A and B are shown apart, each in its own frame.
Chain A
């Protein structure tokens, strides 16, 4: 189980360890964004600091419906005590955690300033992941 908090803008914040394989990870505070279907977005300054490797490009859809070309990087995150390989989109906003990273988890948010954010594994999904 992971815990985060709700900030003064009523955004749900979770702190996650991000980096490359076999290197020390850096803690990053990210806003949980259920409208983001990817794993994680980071500004290029953090991507450069972490030394993440570029992997591919794609089109992404922004909130106004426009389509933008994104540079995608590869990272390792520590998620619920396990290392996980993810795509990272380079985006000059605050870091965002998206639904691909949350897949298989229950997200609970007490939406009030300083409220509690809880992310816990869904037992059924974890079991079926282990079978496959």
Chain B
């Protein structure tokens, strides 16, 4: 069988992606990772719930893809509302 690497693409709408990612993070991952990892990056596969914590999004997603080649990664900066900012500090809303 020819091993062709499929082109990676999202299989969910943006809204569904964020909803699933945040739900998995809040219910399963946050209690395990939050303490001592403030500012680190967590990449979550929204299909399997598998996750990887690293210093950068590149490292976290690469590790996730090593385990799950077909992963659908949702990425969160621990303790922050967003990963990157475009010209603004995050609003001071509760997490």
Per-residue interface assignment for chain B, residues 55 to 80, with 1 indicating a CB less than 8 Å from any chain A CB and 0 otherwise: 00110010000000000011110000
Check if B31 is an interface residue, CB within 8 A of chain A: no
Check if B7 is an interface residue, CB within 8 A of chain A: yes
Contact B58 A61 (CB under 8 A): no
Tell me which residues across on chain A come within 8 A of B15, comparing CB atoms. 69
Check if A24 is an interface residue, CB within 8 A of chain B: no
Contact A41 B57 (CB under 8 A): no
A58, B88: Cα distance in complex, Å:
16
Interface centre among A56, A62, A87 (most CB of B within 10 A): A56
Q: How far is the CB of B78 from chain A (nearest CB, A)?
A: 13
Contact B10 A64 (CB under 8 A): no
Q: How far is the CB of A38 from chain B (nearest CB, A)?
A: 4
Tell me which residues across on chain A come within 8 A of B18, comparing CB atoms. 57, 59, 69
Interface magnitude class on chain A: 20 to 34
Q: How far is the CB of A76 from chain B (nearest CB, A)?
A: 11
Describe A's contact surface by its main secondary structure.
strand
Describe B's contact surface by its main secondary structure.
mixed
Q: Tally the A-B contacts, defined by beta carbons under 8 Å.
A: 97
Contact A61 B88 (CB under 8 A): yes
A33, B17: Cα distance in complex, Å:
28
Contact A72 B88 (CB under 8 A): no
A41, closest chain B residue (CB) = B86
Check if A81 is an interface residue, CB within 8 A of chain B: no
Contact B82 A59 (CB under 8 A): yes
Contact B61 A56 (CB under 8 A): yes
Per-residue interface assignment for chain A, residues 30 to 70, with 1 indicating a CB less than 8 Å from any chain B CB and 0 otherwise: 00010111100100000000000111111111111101011
| 9 A-B pairs with least C-beta separation | A35-B87, A38-B84, A63-B87, A56-B73, A58-B83, A59-B82, A69-B14, A58-B75, A61-B85
A–B pairs, 28, beta carbons within 8 Å: A33-B87, A35-B86, A36-B84, A37-B84, A38-B83, A38-B84, A54-B8, A54-B10, A55-B61, A56-B75, A57-B10, A57-B74, A60-B83, A60-B84, A61-B82, A61-B86, A61-B88, A61-B89, A61-B90, A62-B87, A63-B87, A67-B81, A69-B14, A69-B15, A69-B18, A85-B58, A87-B57, A89-B84
